[in-house]
Amino acid sequence: MKDTNLDWHVLLPVAGAVGAAAGFLVYWVRRRPYNPDDIERQRRAFLNKIGRICEGQVVEMVEPTGPLESPSSPRLATRKGISPNSAVGHKLVCYTYSISGVTYETAQDITGLEQRVHLERLAAGQPASVKYDPSNPSNSILIADDWSGLS
């Protein structure tokens, strides 16, 4: 019969792989859940850093006090993937811009960025500068933590 003792050259890599898998499992179980505000802040910082500027126009300002109530807001919220109840208390600026003949209409949640915007001067039809991702033009911002496309 053959000797059943395992050689350390075989045992060491197997033990390393098991240890790495256990470490990854502990990390995966204990990782912090994603915070939507942090994700949005990182998206704004990324677009502010790499974004190109184009001309856009403010379409409307939505300031819901309860579930979205205005006739155009539920349609806009549903179209943009925002549930009507998730926007409670959030301030949205809807805007439009064109890149290479394609017109984009989107909204940005500006909750927490009110100090960057003079809300009393914000009006539909107002021109604005929009920063967008050149590799994904539908990803854009109107306001960032240290930049504003509103005059």
Q: Where are the alpha helices (DSSP H) in 54-125?
A: 72-79
Contact 108, 59 (CB under 8 A): no
Q: How far apart are CA 136 and CA 142, in angstroms?
A: 15
Q: What is the pLDDT of residues 89-143, one digit of tens each?
A: 678 999 999 999 999 999 999 988 887 777 777 889 999 999 999 999 999 999 9
Residue bearing the bigger pLDDT, 115 or 39: 39
Determine the pLDDT at residue 84: 46
Q: How remote is the C-alpha of 123 from its chain's centroid?
A: 24
Q: Which residue has the tokens 């974004």?
A: 51
Contacting residues for 97 by C-beta, under 8 A, at least 6 apart: 54, 55, 56, 57, 103, 104, 130, 132, 140
Q: How confident is the model at residue 16 (pLDDT cuts 50, 70, 90)?
A: very high
Give the global pTM: 0.65
Q: Average pLDDT of 48-58? A: 96
Please give the Cα distance from 124 to 96 (Å, whole number): 11
